[in-house]
Structure 1
């Protein structure tokens, strides 16, 4: 099985980047169907036959799937990291302005 039978990484990113509220029911259904088919294809395709980008996409999706099962998706983890970074920066800025 080759990567040309798989959903491209760019397609996956653009689907996730577009808010669900801006998609039609047919778009959502199509994305769900193609996403499920891609998961199956990724699971049965040997690692040695995958391109670097497909390996990255599969591992990222696997991490996101595990995170969603635990109640915290990859997006939530990224938001938390950005919030922590912002708090650290604002705290240091605040400390510097007191001196």
Structure 2
């Protein structure tokens, strides 16, 4: 079980809490790139290889087409 190349839930939450209007262009671009890469990693990582935290996070954020938590 490995979450390498995945964005942590706390990192996602911290990014979501701060409004884009208060972020620099660099922060906004960084958030976009990190989010996109995390979505791709979520899609290609088999469900059985994800930690419970990532399974729940993917189900909550909709970053996974397979929302099965098992």
Q: TM-score band, normalised by the shorter chain?
A: 0.7 to 0.9
User: Is the partner of 1:36 in helix, strand or coil?
Assistant: helix
Instruction: Report the number of matched residues.
Output: 63
Secondary structure at the counterpart of residue 34 of structure 1: helix
Which structure 1 residue ranges, 5 or more long, are not aligned?
Answer: 64-99
Task: Specify which structure has the bigger relative contact order, considering alpha-carbon pairs within 8 angstroms and separated by 6 or more residues.
Answer: 2
Deviating 4+ runs (over 4 angstroms) = none
The structure number with the bigger radius of gyration is 1
| CA positional deviation for 1:61 | 1.3
Structure 2 partner of 1:56: 56
Residue ranges of structure 2 left out of the alignment (5+ in a row): 64-70
Matches within 5 A, 1:32-47: 32-47=32-47
Structure with greater helix percent? 1
Pair 1:21 & 2:42 matched: no
TM-score, L = length of structure 1: 0.60
For residues 55 and 43 of structure 1, the distance between their equivalents in structure 2, rounded to whole angstroms, comes to 11
- Report the aligned-residue RMSD: 1.5
**TM-score, structure 2 normalization:** 0.83
